[in-house]
Amino acid sequence: MLYLRNRHLFLIDLVVLPAAALLAFVLRLNAVEFLDYWRGFLVFTCVAVPLKLVVFHWAGLYNRMWRYASIDELVLIAGGAAGGSLLSAAILFGVILPLAGHIGIPRSIPFIDGLLTMLVIGGPRFAIRMAWRSRHRESLGRRGDTEKRVLIIGAGDAGAIVVRELHASPQTGLTPVGFIDDDKEKHGIHVYGVLVHGGRESLARIAHELHVDEVIIAMPSAPGTVIREILSICSDVGVPARTVPGLFDIISGELSVNQIREVDIEDLLRRKPVKIDVVAVQELLRGRRVLVTGGGGSIGGELCRQITLAGPEQLIVLGHGENSVFTIYSELVKETTCPLFSVIADIRDYKCLERIFATFRPELVFHAAAHKHVPLMEANACEAITNNILGTRNLVRIAKRTSVNHFLLISTDKAVNPSSVMGVTKRIAELIVHNAGSSDEARFAAVRFGNVLGSRGSVVNIFKQQISDGGPVTVTSPEMKRYFMTIPEAVQLVLQAAVLCNGGEVFVLDMGEPVAIVDLATDLIRLSGFKPLVRPQTPHDELGPAEDDWDIEVVFSGVRPGEKLFEELFLEGENHRRTNHEKILVALNGEATNSLNQNLDAQVDQLIELAQSGDEAGVRRMLREIVPEYQPAGESR
């Protein structure tokens, strides 16, 4: 039964379909009456059986793998049986019987025959499914010592798919033995033969009772707090945990066993998925010439990936580092048919930018190029000025007098009440773009957001390397907090902000709640399979775990030059309003900012001259003059 092929099923149908027709007549008539209707039986069988076989072939009943039969196949069988019977009845009663005359066929026969047809063609096919499942279970029993017993957290759609895929893929070596779900209405029910044992509070007990070897978290939309709690319980009972992708990753809506992966830090920070107006974004980008500066960086690279999906006329990837530009270009050229151009250039070179704009005539510019490393820019203030400010002004000036109609600056929360050179240069870049957007028909705007996970300079990557080296993991201060967002999420919102842009806005992305960096460090240590020890900042602070119960220590190294303990999203007194998108705000610049902007060009000219001459003291004085709220870290206001 297990090895029946579709050709075998066709031969079986040739036998059972006439038998179903005969049974329909027997059930409808008594023995004496049947003798009077034998001609009708022959006509019905000769017409109905071939028609049904044609309908079954057209419906795809002979190109299915029946060992994996499910509700879809059941619906297909019912539809095929009903369609074949209706077609047979239409031809018999509408064409043949009126022409043939006195051939008796009761009008209820097609109905009875249709029900029987569904049974006789469905029986062998689902018998294959049952035989395969029985054999699969027997094989699991024989290999019990090598199989891992898996507990699934979440008995929803994702959990059901995981169990179904594990049943269909014995080679994974994973056997689902139970579900955990907080929905009490699901307790005691079976999903694909697997029992829902209880809620999250019973996780430790159930894992012990069922001798669980691994936990799979099948809750792609669960918040990070829930994932963190589950991981903590799993850590206490000594059971490793993996997860299915978050909703950002399940682009196609499908899920497979191969997508089950280790829990990552993004899962612990998971927030509600971002919804954007995909149609509006595609309309903005489709058929347009788009330039991305800093295209080899983390944000710039993701911008390039998502922009190509919208079908632009061409994408120009501009960067200063040849290796990073080569990497993103090599990736994109394999994935898209969109014309791509990689350009190596320094945005401080005005004449070079003029040639690039004259050659490619970009209509939309996403300006992600910047020096972003806070301590490095403290030590190299003049470099930060010429790159972040002069480079931005060059791009804005050329964009204003060419074919550009959308210009989006990627800014940072460090531009708000800045305490670093990097932050204050990004604030001045915001002001340059704001001025351009306020006085021109083109749409110039800035998008301000916090840290992104996975970027090349991300603290997460630093922590991972320190953990790989055996520790210690260094955190600047126990009070240090930052806003975090995934790179795809941030870029999606940047593209949505481009749709909302009218000119002159500073858009601010809703980053959720700030995250304590020390919590980020300890979470990463636990995710790596180790126990953290948080070293006290002073001898009077209390120790965390016992001295002999840790693997990687967390030590506090002190706040670095230019760093703040807390980042902010808005200036003091800076009002804001929500846009049509729930995750995008607009900062409303007040009169003080507008009066500053009137003298901005002359002040920026002077600042750039000081930077190009290497006068760092003069640069820092000028930064304070342009941005009065700039307060270098460590100085009192």
Distances 538 to 251, 518, 557 between C-alpha atoms, Å:
48, 16, 11
pLDDT higher than 90, residue 440:
no
Whether residue 299 is found in the same domain as residue 194 = no
Give the model's pLDDT for residue 547: 55
pLDDT higher than 90, residue 389:
yes
3-state secondary structure of 606: helix
Give the model's pLDDT for residue 185: 85
Among 80, 104, 139, the domain boundary falls at 139
Distances 65 to 140, 151, 412 between C-alpha atoms, Å:
22, 28, 54
Please give the Cα distance from 448 to 445 (Å, whole number): 10
Q: How far is CA 626 from the centre of its chain?
A: 40
Q: Which stretch of 393-397, 493-497, 591-595 has the lowest confidence by average pLDDT?
A: 591-595
Whether residue 39 is found in the same domain as residue 105 = yes
Percent of the chain with pLDDT over 70: 78
Average pLDDT of span 66-84 = 73
Whether residue 108 is found in the same domain as residue 172 = no
Please give the Cα distance from 83 to 56 (Å, whole number): 9
pLDDT 10s digits, 109-138 = 888 888 888 888 777 777 776 766 666 555
Type and span of the H or E element at 319: strand 314-319
Which residues, including other chains, have CB under 8 Å from residue 11's CB and lie 6 or more apart?
A: none
Give the model's pLDDT for residue 28: 81
What average pLDDT is seen over the chain?
79
Phi then psi for residue 423, to 5 deg, are -60, -45
pLDDT higher than 60, residue 184:
yes
Sign, CA torsion 43/49/55/58 = negative
Type and span of the H or E element at 227: helix 224-237
Give the model's pLDDT for residue 253: 43
pLDDT 10s digits, 16-39 = 888 888 888 878 887 667 666 777
pLDDT higher than 50, residue 594:
no
Residue 177 lies in a domain: yes
Give the model's pLDDT for residue 576: 64
Residue 92 lies in a domain: yes
Please give the Cα distance from 295 to 592 (Å, whole number): 34
Q: Which stretch of 251-265, 327-341, 372-386, 527-541 has the lowest confidence by average pLDDT?
A: 251-265
pLDDT higher than 50, residue 250:
no
Percent of the chain with pLDDT over 90: 21
Residue 77 lies in a domain: yes
DSSP H helices, 92-223, are: 97-100, 109-142, 157-168, 203-209
Least Cα distance to 402 among 444, 430, 374, 372 occurs for: 444
Whether residue 435 is found in the same domain as residue 366 = yes
3-state secondary structure of 565: coil
pLDDT higher than 90, residue 428:
yes
Residue 551 lies in a domain: no
Task: For residue 394, name the pLDDT band (cuts at 50, 70, 90).
Answer: very high
Average pLDDT of span 396-421 = 90
Whether residue 163 is found in the same domain as residue 116 = no
Residue 546 lies in a domain: no
What Rg do the C-alpha atoms of the chain give, in angstroms? 34
pLDDT 10s digits, 289-317 = 999 999 998 899 999 999 998 889 999 99
Which residues, including other chains, have CB under 8 Å from residue 519's CB and lie 6 or more apart?
A: none
Give the model's pLDDT for residue 251: 40
Which residues, including other chains, have CB under 8 Å from residue 154's CB and lie 6 or more apart?
A: 179, 180, 181, 217, 218, 219, 222
Query: What would the two tokens of residue 487 be?
Result: 């790179």
Residues 607-637 as b or e (16 or more Cβ within 10 Å = b): bbebbeeeebebbbebbeebbebbbbbeeee
pLDDT higher than 90, residue 385:
yes
Distances 573 to 192, 483, 589, 595, 600 between C-alpha atoms, Å:
58, 21, 9, 15, 20
Residue 473 lies in a domain: no
CB neighbours of residue 377 within 10 Å = 25
Domain holding 169: CATH number? 3.40.50.720
Task: For residue 544, name the pLDDT band (cuts at 50, 70, 90).
Answer: very low
Residue 531 lies in a domain: no
pLDDT higher than 60, residue 487:
yes
506-509 vs 406-412, strand pairing mode:
unpaired
152 within 8 A of 176, measured Cβ to Cβ: yes
Give the model's pLDDT for residue 271: 58
Whether residue 257 is found in the same domain as residue 322 = no
Average pLDDT of span 94-118 = 76
pLDDT higher than 80, residue 266:
no
Q: Which stretch of 335-344, 437-446, 612-621 has the lowest confidence by average pLDDT?
A: 437-446
Q: Which stretch of 57-66, 230-239, 376-385, 461-470 has the lowest confidence by average pLDDT?
A: 57-66
Domain holding 51, by residue range, is 6-139
Task: For residue 629, name the pLDDT band (cuts at 50, 70, 90).
Answer: confident
Type and span of the H or E element at 291: strand 289-293
263 within 8 A of 240, measured Cβ to Cβ: no
Whether residue 453 is found in the same domain as residue 328 = yes
Give the model's pLDDT for residue 87: 84
Among 268, 302, 334, the domain boundary falls at 268
Whether residue 354 is found in the same domain as residue 445 = yes
150 within 8 A of 213, measured Cβ to Cβ: yes
- How many Cα atoms sit within 13 Å of 326 on the Cβ side? 3
Distances 351 to 357, 457, 474 between C-alpha atoms, Å:
10, 30, 44
pLDDT 10s digits, 452-471 = 776 666 777 788 788 888 87
Strands (E), 423-559: 443-449, 451-453, 473-475, 481-482, 484-486, 506-509, 515-516, 532-534, 552-556
pLDDT higher than 70, residue 209:
yes
584-588 vs 506-509, strand pairing mode:
antiparallel
More confident: 410 or 158: 410
**Number of independent structural domains in the chain:** 3
3-state secondary structure of 316: strand
pLDDT higher than 60, residue 145:
no
Whether residue 300 is found in the same domain as residue 441 = yes
More confident: 272 or 171: 171
Please give the Cα distance from 488 to 454 (Å, whole number): 10
Phi then psi for residue 392, to 5 deg, are -65, -45
Which residues, including other chains, have CB under 8 Å from residue 479's CB and lie 6 or more apart?
A: 516, 565
More confident: 588 or 626: 626
More confident: 598 or 446: 446
Q: Crossing angle of helices 109-142/38-59, nearest 10°?
A: 50
Whether residue 34 is found in the same domain as residue 53 = yes
Distances 300 to 293, 372, 386, 481 between C-alpha atoms, Å:
7, 13, 20, 25
Residue 466 lies in a domain: no
Helices (H) and strands (E) in the chain — how many of each?
24, 23
Please give the Cα distance from 320 to 620 (Å, whole number): 26
Whether residue 63 is found in the same domain as residue 164 = no
Please give the Cα distance from 622 to 473 (Å, whole number): 37
Task: For residue 225, name the pLDDT band (cuts at 50, 70, 90).
Answer: confident
Which range has the top average pLDDT, 144-148, 262-266, 385-389? 385-389
Task: For residue 230, name the pLDDT band (cuts at 50, 70, 90).
Answer: confident
Bridge partners, 178 (sequence order): 151
Among 268, 290, 311, the domain boundary falls at 268
pLDDT higher than 90, residue 407:
yes
Give the model's pLDDT for residue 606: 92
* Cis upstream peptide for 472 (omega within 30°): yes
Q: Crossing angle of helices 350-360/391-400, nearest 10°?
A: 40
Whether residue 297 is found in the same domain as residue 248 = no
